[in-house]
Structure 1
Amino acid sequence: MSKMLTRMAAVALLLAGAVPAFAADGPVAQIEQGRVAGVVSDGVAAFKGIPFAAPPVGPLRWRPPQPAAAWTGVRSGADYGADCMQKPLPGDAAPLGVAPAEDCLYLNVWAPADTATKPGAKRPVMVWIYGGGFVNGGSSPAVYDGSAFARDGVVLVSFNYRVGRFGFFAHPALVAEAGQGPVGNYGYLDQLAALQWVKRNIASFGGDPDNVTVFGESAGGMSVHMMLTSPLAKGLFSRAIIQSGAGRDRLLPTPPVHADGDAPSGEKAGVAYAAQHGISDAGPAGLAALRALPAEAVVDGLNMATMNTPTYSGPMVDGAVVRRSSPIAAYAAGEGADVPVMVGATGADGFFFGGTLDGVLAPFGADRDQALKLLDPDGTGDLKLIGHRAAGAFMFIEPARAVARLLTARAAPVYLFRYSYVAESMRKEWWGTPHATEIPFVFDTVKARYGTALTAADAAAAKAAHAYWVEFAKTGKPEPKGLPAWAPFKAGQDERLMEFGASGPVLEADPLKARLDLVEKVVEQNGKTASK
């Protein structure tokens, strides 16, 4: 019998007294921990709130994820589990749908409803990793709903991972406790545990464990870089999509877990945080006191607006999960998985935090005048616009091209994209496509994002973008029928990218090439200077 039980089989179990009544109303999946009942709507079976690891609370705070406990009977998959503990960011374009809590290691599966009638179905799997600067985010936002993927024949998985100090925290006592084990990057370890769960269990939902595409945006895209470069992720996926995942050094640098002298480190950030709460002991007693702190005290006001603080390190170079300070350093050294990759950014990506025109142009040195012409071709003199264009080029857009160029040295194809479509209702508000605004188009959840302001053109743009992502997951080639062909990116040969703009998808030479070439020159010059 298929691992996915039909309604008839569920009824039989009910009559035998094995499951509660709700299980008869939808498909029931048998996974390693027990049985879970899905909810069917519009041709999609959704299974939400499945624990993939034990609650990381009490003595499991700041430990690698541990196996989830088994259960008897049938667990309801009707509702999301809690998103991970954090201080939500006001005005987030992907607001959490449930309240955050420290007990948060849950995942969700959307599958075609007919999977129950097709034993042995091996549908492509996509695993989504949310962004949020490693301090915010969760799997419950409405724009992350996986129904459209399931309707198109893909099994979509999303999951939670620990963020902020719950997910990325080091301290001398933790290093001593871990011994030779991984320490510091608990959020990354959660991500790996979720991928391992998918490998072991996704066949129960009709998914193919050997055809998994991992994709994410912003911090989620950076996490995909981790998956591509970490030896611990080997064999867990077969292709990857990086949306605004940068690739060069992070805006907030990636420190080592330990560093001597005055150099920053994860341990030093942890010690500084502990001192703020009156904890000076660096041994077991201090660690016990840290684990006893209320969850709200661990958050301590941290979110994307306050993350630049000496008491929080973010992801660290730990030698196990993360071995280099930037993905590009790993790719340049020939490290990382050789799998098909899609990589790109949005047209108006990046964040400008204010300042002066001189400050924006200062990094360009003697090329200042050229930079101004490239950043302000119309001569508007608009500081905010110029600043955003420079920030986007440095933070996300040029790094995406640099990643594509490095990965073309490998056998697997690479596809570079830029998402520049702006919803019609926002064209008077935005000068371009801001960071993260491509997500509802990729998920085809634009109705949830724009509501009654959604237009036919917006819906069509979503259908097109979504089709490319789906086809890539199915075949490793983003070539949906009836849409423009997308040739692989070839460094120095065919450097065209797929532009998702107002005119629809167009494969073209990069219109920002001159701007990005200048940014690349600046980055490489600074790198050489720093290495002297």
Structure 2
Amino acid sequence: MEFPGTNITGNYGIGDQVTALQWTINNIAAFGGDPNQITIVGSSAGGASVRTLLGSPPAIGKFQGGIAQSSLGGGVTLGLPSNYATSYASYLSIQEGYELAGQQIFHGAGCNATNLDKQIACLAAYDPVALVGLPTIADKVVQDGTFVNTEQLIVTERNASTAHVPVIFGTAADDGSSFSTYPKGNNITSELEGIQVELGISEYYAQSIIDSGLFPYYDTGNKTLDSFNVSQRVATDTQFRCIDEATVYAGAVSGAFERAYYYQSQRTEYGYDPNNLGGPSVTPGYPYGNPNLPYFRVHGSDNGWSFENLPVFRDAADLYSLQLEGSYYSWFAKTGEPNAPLAYLKARGYQTVIEGQRASGPWDPVQGMQGPVKLLDWPSVSSDFIDKPQCAFLNYSLTYYVDGGI
């Protein structure tokens, strides 16, 4: 929580993370670790925390690499609701944060005294468990002048404002499927209606998506599913993919980041699935679902690959992709680049992964408008940045930061 005109300035979650980093520096040697080789990793809001820490003065110097997975950041386009994702990459003033969250929290907690001291006292006495259950919570990053002192992460130049370290950014292929609404009952009668309902936008903006021709409608006969495929792609682009691609591109070409890598997860398992979309269909020989069939790669469903820990293996490719991606992340944490040498893979007994890595080619850092991007799967392949025309249409072009955020 933050309050204008007081010394209560917010960002206490970020402050706790900086404290945890310092604790790690002070104590990691006792666990056999190197206090000068720390990589911060986060997914979703955790990815946004990595983004924030990359530009946080007290945090800079306390880590040597960062991995931001499915970091939210976009949303202000085509009439889409903007308060949720946008504030994770565009930091509010204390006044803006108070107006967005503070006043509603006071009202929800019944702390409506006109005197600020009485309001704060009322809130301090409120049940904290009930407080975090209110419809509005104080979860926004604000420019408090200590942990955050810029409006956004500076990626257009190399300076002391941004940690000059190697980074990895990326998303699950269908992150937005968790943040658009799948209508129940399959009652959607047209693509236009579906996009309106699923994204919560006006008919005008829904029609503009259709008219763009950039988000193809595949007619399977199920209009609810078909329109949702369009909507979730728009949501993926606006809230995740476009802003993260623009961040990595700008940070790479400007030198703000020492090196910058980008990925998209093509093979995933269980994640945040409020629409109950489920994974791939069960077929003979695949009791946990056949990953070779189409399915939504929902938000957070690639996290298991980061630490080589999956609840189930659906086929051999799950195991091999797990080993391959785990070696990418572990070697990046050790050295700041993801391509593990053959000796490391041999020591782990990853002979099949060696063959897969050779077939895939190295995971190269972003160099320019063409990326490259690593599409993580088995086998993994390299690609250009994904959905560049779509991102430009949504006002989050690849050069969004280079062009001044327009």
TM range (shorter): 0.7 to 0.9
Q: String of CA shifts for 1:318-350, please: whole Å, max 9, x gaps.
A: 2322233433xx223654111111111111112
Shift of 1:297: 2.9
Q: Tell me, what secondary structure is at the counterpart of 1:440?
A: helix
Whether 1:212 aligns to 2:57 is no
Distance 2:331 2:248 in 1: 20
- Name the counterpart of 1:427: 280
Distance 1:237 1:521, change over 3 A: closer
Whether 1:353 aligns to 2:181 is yes
- Measured on the aligned residues, the alpha-carbon RMSD in Å equals 3.3
Whether 1:288 aligns to 2:112 is no
Is 1:184–1:266's contact at 8 Å kept on the other side of the alignment?
no
Aligned equivalent of 2:242, options 386, 390, 398: 398
Aligned equivalent of 1:376, options 206, 216, 223: 216
Gaps of 5+ in 1: 1-168
- Name the counterpart of 1:418: 264
Letter in 1 for 2:10: G
Shift of 1:426: 2.5
Shift of 1:365: 7.8
Pairwise mapping of residues 105-504 of structure 1 onto structure 2 (< 5 A)? 169-171=1-3, 176-178=6-8, 183-248=9-74, 251-252=83-84, 253-254=86-87, 256-259=92-95, 264-266=96-98, 269-279=101-111, 280=113, 282-299=115-132, 301-302=133-134, 306=135, 309=136, 312=138, 314-327=140-153, 330-332=154-156, 334=158, 335-350=161-176, 351-353=179-181, 356-357=194-195, 359=201, 362-363=204-205, 368-370=210-212, 372=213, 374-376=214-216, 378-380=218-220, 382-408=226-252, 409-410=254-255, 412-423=258-269, 426-428=279-281, 431-447=295-311, 450=312, 454-480=314-340, 481=342, 482=354, 483=357, 484-492=361-369, 494-501=370-377, 503-504=378-379
Is 2:245–2:385's contact at 8 Å kept on the other side of the alignment?
no
Percent identity between the aligned chains? Answer: 26
Letter in 2 for 1:191: Q
Q: Report which structure shows greater RCO (CA 8 Å, sep ≥6).
A: 2
Is 1:218–1:246's contact at 8 Å kept on the other side of the alignment?
yes
Shift of 1:244: 0.7
Shift of 1:520: 4.3
Distance 1:346 1:251, change over 3 A: farther
Letter in 2 for 1:228: L
Distance 1:361 1:346 in 2: 28
Distance 1:364 1:332, change over 3 A: farther
Between Structure 1 and Structure 2, which shows a larger proportion of strand residues?
Answer: 1
TM-score (norm 2): 0.72
Is 1:170–1:267's contact at 8 Å kept on the other side of the alignment?
no
Letter in 1 for 2:326: H
Distance 1:343 1:186 in 2: 24
Distance 1:478 1:360, change over 3 A: farther
Distance 1:472 1:251, change over 3 A: farther
Is 2:45–2:71's contact at 8 Å kept on the other side of the alignment?
yes
Distance 1:365 1:228, change over 3 A: farther
- Name the counterpart of 2:285: none
Is 1:192–1:233's contact at 8 Å kept on the other side of the alignment?
yes
Which protein has the larger Cα radius of gyration, Structure 1 or Structure 2?
1
Gaps of 5+ in 2: 76-81, 183-192, 271-277, 282-288, 343-353
Distance 2:364 2:203 in 1: 35
Distance 1:281 1:333 in 2: 45
Shift of 1:295: 2.1
Is 2:331–2:337's contact at 8 Å kept on the other side of the alignment?
yes
Is 1:269–1:312's contact at 8 Å kept on the other side of the alignment?
yes
Distance 1:258 1:342, change over 3 A: closer
Shift of 1:497: 0.6
Provide runs of 4+ in structure 1 moved above 6 Å. Answer: 364-367, 522-525
Whether 1:507 aligns to 2:382 is yes
Distance 1:368 1:187, change over 3 A: same
TM-score (norm 1): 0.56
Pairwise mapping of residues 99-110 of structure 1 onto structure 2 (< 5 A)? none
Distance 1:412 1:313, change over 3 A: closer
Q: String of CA shifts for 1:172-223, please: whole Å, max 9, x gaps.
A: 5xx5345xxxx21111111111001111111111111111111111100000
Distance 1:257 1:489, change over 3 A: closer
Distance 2:24 2:237 in 1: 35
Shift of 1:463: 1.3
Q: Tell me, what secondary structure is at the counterpart of 1:332?
A: coil
Aligned residues: 335
Shift of 1:246: 3.4
Is 1:184–1:257's contact at 8 Å kept on the other side of the alignment?
no
